Amino acid sequence: MDTFDALAEWLLLASAAAVPWLVARFIRTSPRWKRVLAVHLVSLALGLAILSAYAYWPHIFVDLRLGLLGYDQGGMSQSERSAGVEPEHREIAAHLFNSTMGVGWPLRVAVLLAVYVPYSLAAGFLGMLLFKSGRRPGYAA
C-alpha cells in the first residue's frame, strides 16, 4: 500500500508542476479571454479528477484487501464479518475494517480543492506570463 500511496503522491505533485508548462505550451490562437477561461476550466477539471482519484484510492485498496482476505463487510457482528477470514489474518482484517471509519473521501477532496483551486489560478497566470515573455517551455532558445 505504501508503494501505491507514494505513486499517488508523485502523480499529484507531477500534475501540479505540469500545469504552468501545459498552459504555456498549448496557448496559441484564440482570443485572450477565451484562452484564459479554457485553460482554467481544463486545469480545474483535471485537478478535480486527479484529486478525486488520490483521495478515493485508499478506500478502494482497503475494500480490495478485505475482499481478498474473505472479510464480509455486510455482517452484523465481528464474528459474522470475520467468519471467512483465516485465523492468523483476523486481526489485520479487523484493523482494516476499522480504518475505513472516519473522514470520507468526498470531504478529503473538498479540503484538497480548497488548496488546489488557488494554486491552479496562480499557475495559469504564471503560464500566461511565460507565454507572453517568449520563454516557451519545450522550445529551444
For 91, the grid coordinates are 486481526
Cβ–Cβ under 8 Å, residues 109 and 51 = yes
Q: What is the pLDDT of residue 102?
A: 72
Which residue from 45, 60, 53, 43 is spatially nearest to 8, judged by alpha carbons?
A: 53
C-alpha separations of 8 from 11, 23, 79, 141 in Å: 5, 23, 34, 34
What pLDDT, on the 0 to 100 scale, is given for residue 31? 64
User: Can you tell me the distance from the alpha carbon of 2 to that of 134, in angstroms, rounded to the nearest whole number?
Assistant: 42
Please give the pLDDT value at position 105.
Answer: 75
pLDDT for residue 141: 47
pLDDT along the chain (141 residues), means of 10: 70 72 61 69 75 79 86 83 87 84 78 81 75 61 47
Element (H, E) at 38: helix 32-69
Contacts of residue 138, Cβ cutoff 8 Å, sequence gap at least 6: 21, 25
